[in-house]
């Protein structure tokens, strides 16, 4: 039983850590800056790709 | 604004910048942009009307299609668009394009990077603490359900490994603040928190090494998590108010048009203006620095600066203070001071002096902590001594001390205040009142006197035609036809009062506006004049029958047709408000820079016995200081530049949304509604919030009194500590939420309709 715990606990911690890292990344990326805008943008029917946030030229 | 006025001889040629309605010249645009890289500029535009996905697309496509624009990105939450564009010689019609698309827009000062760092740090700390707390709690649950000693030790070690980085990262917020006040020999709420968390971790770590039964890692990390929730909420409230206030910013005179001797002119930022520079001032612009009129003459609206409500005519040689608004005709002024010597700068200095003199307010939570912390620490220390004396077991005694610290750690207290305050702030937000800081609500409860400014606060700062029904409709429509070409407040009041639709009464062939006197219009052989009595009649006699007061007259070929009288528009709801406030025992005063007669008239009308007229900014500060010296806690409500030092002196201060920029920065509360009802709303809500805070404190004290003996006698295990802590926090939060519910059911009839109309108006203002 101890053996299986040795695998499971690191795995669960890693999965949790991945979730945490993903959240921190999305925060840094500005995904929570405009929640109301994101609501609306999902229905856009763009012919061309959406402007890239980091480089609006495209 | 209507059609441009025909030019008159002797009027200085001021090159009119490419102003659109509420628009901005190319030079202004560059000055208010942020330079990203070589030739690439970034401008933030505030567009209050955006409310849906269609608007996003319209704005982004409309701006993106402009020549020279690299990209436009809308943020719907803050109602802003960020535009990146290449610098070129041609003006970029950003605001004009938006207007053509049907949006009102204004520029916002460029953002600096530092603004949101605290918020990001708090959210990150919260995420890390949440991760740590949930994982450690999972491990703890298996320990509590009875793990074997070997397993328990393993789980303790894993918990310690998780807790250490979490404390180091998420705990910084508290440790930093606690260390900051400890260095100065004071305490705040963060001191017992930091000591409790660190001791709990230290002892648990020690126990883990020794392999004993109990470890408090879960309690330490959960405590941090709960407290960080409170801290983050508190910060979110302030952040929202800050963004909303920032959106209100209109461009003050940040640049000016300097005329060189060789006839050329250029736009420079106000800070670069030197003494004796000649500055062209178009109609509708504010005077950038103190100066004298060099060429031309015009009427100036000084209300924001002096509190006087009637526009002042200024001739060549007259002194102008920075911040006054040019109303009727373009003039050239000569700067007599640089920006940092100007009236505005003097106000800023008075403001700084006032803020330094303001005794530092200690938040209720910190005051509670200064009583609470010594008590808890003494209790823990006593517990330690007693157990050491009775059992002689050092480790056992230390465990008791830590249990006392953890069980009494002000977890509920840390949530008690911010939770109530954020619910209160939300309720106020619905009523279009923004508070800058939660402590404002605490301070408002001490208020026993209210000082109002007159112009712009009790009154709306613009005149209204008071004898509309005495004036013949024909005369009114003739006057309105003339007046619509002028920006003079009296003229605009006449236009507003004229409700006859359709064609002008008379077709005029020529117009002139003579600054300081009035308007002259020609129709066939007849000359109509609308303006000052002596000038319109063309003679000195016949004045008596017209009487005194704020008025203007209409004449035809020097024969009196009608008299128009004006009174200041009192803000809606002021009478009821003053009555209500007086009845609830508050002392009301009116301070004004306006002349005695005008102030007395208003004071009598509102039934206020204490008023002071002809007050300079310094006098207002002295007046407030004198009141404070008598032990009074004053709420100051004002709007003008001349009120700014007084706003900073008062215990709490409040300004309407149309106040001067610097006033909005200095005040604690900004209300966007036209009605002064805001004052009574905020007093009401702050009292309710405070009683809830006190209830929460009372609850926390009862909880501690009950829990302390258990900890003291060593009955508290980590399981008991975790349950007690969570339960008390949930109770406190639930109690705070009652504020929202109670208020909703309190206004039985009007609440929904008021809420809806307020929300609509907020949408218009673009704050929501």
ipTM: 0.77
Q: Which helix (H) or strand (E) is B625 found in, with range?
A: helix B617-629
Q: Catalytic residue among B294, B299, B437, B453, which?
A: B453
Helix, strand, coil distribution of chain B in percent, nearest 5: 50, 15, 30
| pLDDT value of position B169 | 94
Q: Is A2 on the interface with B (CB under 8 A)?
A: yes
pLDDT score for B125: 94
Strands B325-326 and B298-301 turn out to be: antiparallel
B131 → closest Cβ in A20, A41, A56: A20
Q: Do B77 and A56 touch (CB under 8 A)?
A: no
Tokens for B209? Answer: 């090494």
Asked if the C-beta of A11 comes within 8 angstroms of chain B's C-beta atoms, the answer is no
DSSP structure class, residue B458: I
The pTM for the full model equals 0.71
Q: In what order do the strands lie in the sheet with B291-295?
A: B265-269, B255-259, B278-281, B331-335, B291-295, B319-320
CA distance B8 to B410: 74
| B243 contacts chain A (CB < 8 A) | no
Distance CA B29, CA B42 (A): 10
CB contacts, 8 Å: B151 with chain A:
2, 5
Helix (H) or strand (E) holding B611: strand B610-612
Active site residue B453: yes
User: Residues 6 or more apart from B105 whose CB is under 8 A from it?
Assistant: B45, B46, B47, B81, B94, B95, B98, B99
In sequence order, which residues have a C-beta less than 8 Å from that of residue B13 and are 6 or more positions away?
Answer: none
Q: Do B77 and A33 touch (CB under 8 A)?
A: yes
Please give the Cα distance from B637 to B667 (Å, whole number).
9
Dihedral angle computed from the Cα positions of residues B99, B104, B110 and B116, in that order, rounded to the nearest 10 degrees: -140
Does the CB of B78 have a partner CB in chain A at under 8 Å? yes
Strand partners, B278: B259, B334
- Contact of B107 with B276, CB cutoff 8 Å: no
Q: Are B419 and B732 in contact (CB under 8 A)?
A: yes
Strands B255-259 and B278-281: antiparallel
Contact B162 A44 (CB under 8 A): no
Q: Closest partner residue to B123 among A27, A33, A35, by Cβ?
A: A27
Put simply, the chain B residues between 42 and 61 with a CB less than 8 A from any chain A CB are 52-53, 56-57, 60
Distance from the A34 Cα atom to the nearest Cα atom in chain B, whole angstroms: 5
Using a 10 angstrom Cβ sphere, with 0-12 exposed, 13-18 middle and 19 or more buried, the burial of residue B176 is exposed
d(CA B131, CA B143): 19
- Put simply, the answer to whether B135 touches A13 (Cβ < 8 Å) is yes
Residues in chain A closer than 8 A to B157 (CB atoms): none
* Angle at alpha carbon of residue B441, lines to B438 and B444, rounded to 5°: 145
Is A16 in contact with B131 (Cβ distance < 8 A)?
yes
Closest residue in B to A41 (Cα) is B53
- Residue B121: HSE in the Cβ half-sphere, 13 Å Cα cutoff: 13
Contact B135 A12 (CB under 8 A): yes
Is the sign of the CA dihedral B5, B6, B10, B12 positive or negative? positive
Cβ burial of B488 (10 Å; 0-12, 13-18, 19+) is buried
Which of B39, B41, B53, B117 should one mutate to test binding to chain A, selecting the residue with the greatest count of A CBs within 10 A?
Answer: B53
Distances (CA, A) of B448 to B246, B410, B453, B638: 30, 31, 17, 17
Task: State phi, psi for B644 to the nearest 5 degrees.
Answer: -55, -50
Please give, rounded to a whole number of angstroms, the shortest distance from the CA of A2 to a CA of chain B: 8
Among B535, B527, B539, B540, which Cα is nearest to B551's? B535
| Residue B663, pLDDT score | 77
> What's the CA gap between B454 and B91, in Å, rounded?
41
B52, B53, B77 member nearest A35 (Cβ) = B77
Give the integer Cα–Cα distance in Å for B18 and B315.
26
pLDDT of residue B132: 94
Q: Which residues of chain B have pLDDT under 50?
A: 1-11, 15-23, 113-114, 251, 743-768
Q: CB–CB of B17/B27 below 8 Å?
A: yes
Cross-chain residue pair A17–B131, CB shorter than 8 Å: yes
User: Considering only CB atoms, which chain A residues are within 8 Å of B56?
Assistant: 37, 40-41, 44
User: Best interface-test mutation with B: which of A15, A36, A41 has the largest number of B CBs within 10 A?
Assistant: A36
Q: Which residues contact B40 (CB under 8 A, 6 or more apart)?
A: B70, B84, B85, B86, B87
Asked if A21 has any chain B CB less than 8 Å from its own CB, the reply is: no
Q: Where are the beta strands (DSSP E) in B102-237?
A: 106-108
């Amino acid at each position: 039983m101890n053996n299986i715990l040795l695998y499971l606990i690191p795995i669960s911690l890693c999965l949790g850590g991945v979730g945490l890292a993903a959240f921190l990344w999305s925060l840094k990326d500005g995904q929570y800056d405009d929640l109301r805008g994101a609501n609306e943008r999902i229905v856009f029917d763009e012919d061309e790709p959406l402007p890239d946030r980091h480089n609006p030229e495209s | 604004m209507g059609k441009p006025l025909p030019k008159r001889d002797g009027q200085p040629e001021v090159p009119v910048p490419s102003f659109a309605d509420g628009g901005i010249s190319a030079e202004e645009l560059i000055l208010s942009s942020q330079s990203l890289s070589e030739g690439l500029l970034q401008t933030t535009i505030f567009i209050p009307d955006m409310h849906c996905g269609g608007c996003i697309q319209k704005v982004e496509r409309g701006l993106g299609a402009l020549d020279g624009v690299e990209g436009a990105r809308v943020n719907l939450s803050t109602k802003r668009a960020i535009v990146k564009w290449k610098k070129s010689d041609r003006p970029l019609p950003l605001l004009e394009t938006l207007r053509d698309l049907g949006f009102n827009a204004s520029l916002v000062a460029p953002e600096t990077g530092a603004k949101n760092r605290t918020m990001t740090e708090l959210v990150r700390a919260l995420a890390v603490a949440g991760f740590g707390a949930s994982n450690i709690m999972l491990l703890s649950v298996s320990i509590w359900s009875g793990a074997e000693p070997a397993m328990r030790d393993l789980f303790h070690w894993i918990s310690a490994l998780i807790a250490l980085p979490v404390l180091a990262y998420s705990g910084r917020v508290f440790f930093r603040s606690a260390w900051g006040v400890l260095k100065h020999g004071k305490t705040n709420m963060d001191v017992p928190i930091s000591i409790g968390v660190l001791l709990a971790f230290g002892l648990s770590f020690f126990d883990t090494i020794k392999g004993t039964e109990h470890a408090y890692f879960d309690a330490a990390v959960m405590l941090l998590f709960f407290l960080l929730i409170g801290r983050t909420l508190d910060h979110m409230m302030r952040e929202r108010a800050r963004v909303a206030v920032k959106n209100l910013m209109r461009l003050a005179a940040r640049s000016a048009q300097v005329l060189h001797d060789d006839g050329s002119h250029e736009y420079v930022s106000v800070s670069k203006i030197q003494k004796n520079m000649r500055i062209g001032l178009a109609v509708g612009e504010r005077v950038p620095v103190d100066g004298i009129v060099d060429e031309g003459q015009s009427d100036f609206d000084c209300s924001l600066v002096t509190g006087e409500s009637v526009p002042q005519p200024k001739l060549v040689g007259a002194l102008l203070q920075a911040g006054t608004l040019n109303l009727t005709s373009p003039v050239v002024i000569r700067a007599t001071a640089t920006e940092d010597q100007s009236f505005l700068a003097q106000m800023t200095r008075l403001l700084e002096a006032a803020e330094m003199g303001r005794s530092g307010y200690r938040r209720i939570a910190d005051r509670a902590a200064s009583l609470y912390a010594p008590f808890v620490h003494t209790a823990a220390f006593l517990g330690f001594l007693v157990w050491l004396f009775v059992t002689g077991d050092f480790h056992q005694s230390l465990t008791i001390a830590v249990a006392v610290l953890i069980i009494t750690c002000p977890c509920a207290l840390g949530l008690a205040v911010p939770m109530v305050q954020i619910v209160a702030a939300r309720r106020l937000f619905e009523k279009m009142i923004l508070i800058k800081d939660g402590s404002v609500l605490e301070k408002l409860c001490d208020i026993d006197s209210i000082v109002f400014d007159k112009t712009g606060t009790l009154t709306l700062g613009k005149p209204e035609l008071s004898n509309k029904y005495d004036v013949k409709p024909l005369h009114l429509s003739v006057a309105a036809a003339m007046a619509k070409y002028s920006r003079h407040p009296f003229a605009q009041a006449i236009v507003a009062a004229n409700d006859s639709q359709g064609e002008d009464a008379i077709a005029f062939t020529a117009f002139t506006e003579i600054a300081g006197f009035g308007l002259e219009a020609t129709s066939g052989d007849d000359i109509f004049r609308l303006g000052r009595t002596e000038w319109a009649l063309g003679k000195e006699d016949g004045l008596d029958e017209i009487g005194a007061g704020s008025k203007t007259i209409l004449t035809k070929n020097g024969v009196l047709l009608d008299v128009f009288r004006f009174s200041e528009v009192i803000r809606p709801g002021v009478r009821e408000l003053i009555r209500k406030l007086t009845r609830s025992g508050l002392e009301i005063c009116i301070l004004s820079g306006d002349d005695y007669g005008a102030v007395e008239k208003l004071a009598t009308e509102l039934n206020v016995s204490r008023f002071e007229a002809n007050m300079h900014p310094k006098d207002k500060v002295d007046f407030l200081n004198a009141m404070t010296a008598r032990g009074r806690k004053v709420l100051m409500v004002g709007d003008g530049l001349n009120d700014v030092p007084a706003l900073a002196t008062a215990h709490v201060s409040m300004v309407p949304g149309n106040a001067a920029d610097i006033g909005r920065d200095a005040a604690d509360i900004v209300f966007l509604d036209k009605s002064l009802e805001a004052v009574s709303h905020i007093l009401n809500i702050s009292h309710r919030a405070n009683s809830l805070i006190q209830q929460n404190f009372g609850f926390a004290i009862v909880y501690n009194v009950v829990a302390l003996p258990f900890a003291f006698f060593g009955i508290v295990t980590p399981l008991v500590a975790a349950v007690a802590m969570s339960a008390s926090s949930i109770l406190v939060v639930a109690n705070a939420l009652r504020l929202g519910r109670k208020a909703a059911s309190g206004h039985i009839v009007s609440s929904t309709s008021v809420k809806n109309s307020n929300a609509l108006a907020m949408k218009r203002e673009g704050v929501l």
